[in-house]
């Protein structure tokens, strides 16, 4: 099978798989270019409530396919940044399920997700210093926002790999699970995400990502949604809420 991005949708959760096992799921230029339109297609699915990004087999993503840097490294980086930004802008919750190596461009993709769950043996690295590449400003800011300036400098200056426990301590990872439990925990947690209010999630994601000028927009959405009334009623009646607001406005 050619290197590609595979995807499935089950129970309102999309799973996107980085598939290039011959090169530890390194991202080719074609794969970087394919991610934004794939995300657009998935975002248009009104029934979709969450997205999981993972790698084929025992590796998340070993970075960019270095052979793609021989011709035009600037073009390769542009494609990677566009893919990363498209993932960060996906309007519903995203979760990276990390096994094995999550390095270079793989770390870019994981950092662009809202959450990151990793198996105990996972390794993380931000490696442009090994190749003499200037890490993009947007990617650097995103990394700093996750782990803080000191840890970001450690990763960027050295290119050294860190284990999952250190990634957890720095904030790069949200949960670390035994290998046998990662898939189960991801499935469990995405079921939780699917059950919650998309209105709350969409507003929180926008605010957390730095856009804080739309309070009036979100208050208007809340007033017209019925989600608050349903949530309160469900709590008082001791039942699961049936939220109806759906992401429609990506502006």
Distance, in Å, from the CA atom of 182 to the CA atom of 117, rounded to the nearest integer, reads 7
Distance, in Å, from the CA atom of 106 to the CA atom of 122, rounded to the nearest integer, reads 12
Distance, in Å, from the CA atom of 188 to the CA atom of 175, rounded to the nearest integer, reads 13
pTM of the model: 0.94
Is residue 251 pLDDT above 50, yes or no?
no
Is residue 68 pLDDT above 70, yes or no?
no
- Per-residue HEC secondary structure of the chain comes to CCCEEEEEEECCEEEEEEECHHHCCCECHHHHHHHHHHHHHHHCCCCCCEEEEEECCCCCECCECHHHHCCCHHHHHHHHHHHHHHHHCCCCCEEEEECCEEECHHHHHHHHCCEEEEECCCEEECCHHHCCCCCCHHHHHHHHHHHCHHHHHHHHHHCCCEEHHHHHHHCCCCEEECHHHHHHHHHHHHHHHHHCCHHHHHHHHHHHCCCCCCHHHHHHHHHHHCHHHHHHHHHHHCCCCCCCCCCCCCC
Mean pLDDT of the chain: 93
pLDDT in tens, 148-166: 999 999 999 999 999 999 9
Is residue 69 pLDDT above 80, yes or no?
no
Q: In this structure, what token pair is assigned to residue 147?
A: 């782990």
- Going from the C-alpha of 166 to that of each of 105, 106, 150, 176, the distances in angstroms are 19, 17, 14, 10
If you average pLDDT over residues 159-174, what whole number do you get?
98
Is residue 191 pLDDT above 70, yes or no?
yes
User: How sure is the predictor about 224, in pLDDT bands with cuts at 50, 70 and 90?
Assistant: confident
Q: What percent of the chain has pLDDT over 70?
A: 96
If you average pLDDT over residues 55-84, what whole number do you get?
86
Q: What is the pLDDT of residue 249?
A: 47
Q: What is the pLDDT of residue 250?
A: 44
Q: Just give the CATH number of 4-192.
A: 3.90.226.10
Per-residue exposure over 212-243, b if at least 16 CB sit within 10 Å of its own CB, e if not = eeeeeebeebbeebebeebbeeeeeeeeebeb
Q: Which residue has the tokens 């090994």?
A: 130
* Domain definitions of the chain by residue range: 4-192, 197-237
pLDDT in tens, 91-103: 999 999 999 999 9
If you average pLDDT over residues 137-154, what whole number do you get?
97
Q: What is the pLDDT of residue 190?
A: 98
Is residue 124 pLDDT above 90, yes or no?
yes
Maximum separation of any 2 CA atoms in the chain, in Å = 63
The CA-based angle 193-194-195, given to 5 degrees, is 90
pLDDT in tens, 19-44: 999 999 999 999 999 999 999 999 99
């Amino acid at each position: 099978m050619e290197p590609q991005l595979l995807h499935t949708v089950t129970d309102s959760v999309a799973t996107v798989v980085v598939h290039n096992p011959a090169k530890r799921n390194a991202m080719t230029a074609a794969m970087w270019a394919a991610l934004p339109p794939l995300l657009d297609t998935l975002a248009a699915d009104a029934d979709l409530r969450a997205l999981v990004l993972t790698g084929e087999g025992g590796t998340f993503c070993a970075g960019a396919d270095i052979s793609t840097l021989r011709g035009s490294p600037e073009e390769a980086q542009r494609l990677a940044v566009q893919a990363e930004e498209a993932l960060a802008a996906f309007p519903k919750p995203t979760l990276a399920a990390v096994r094995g190596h999550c390095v270079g461009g793989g770390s870019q993709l994981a950092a662009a997700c809202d959450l990151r769950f990793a198996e105990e043996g996972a390794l993380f690295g931000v490696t442009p210093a090994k190749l003499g590449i200037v890490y993009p400003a947007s990617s650097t800011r995103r990394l700093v926002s996750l782990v803080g300036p000191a840890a970001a400098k450690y990763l960027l200056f050295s290119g050294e790999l860190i284990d999952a426990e250190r990634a957890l301590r720095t904030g790069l990872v949200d949960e670390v699970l035994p290998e046998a439990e990662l898939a189960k925990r991801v499935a469990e947690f995405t079921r939780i995400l699917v059950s919650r209010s998309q209105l709350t999630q969409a507003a929180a994601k926008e605010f957390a990502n730095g856009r804080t000028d739309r309070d009036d927009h979100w208050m208007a959405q809340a007033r017209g949604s019925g989600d608050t009334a349903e949530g309160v009623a469900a709590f008082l009646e001791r039942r699961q809420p049936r939220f109806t607001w759906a992401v429609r406005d990506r502006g």
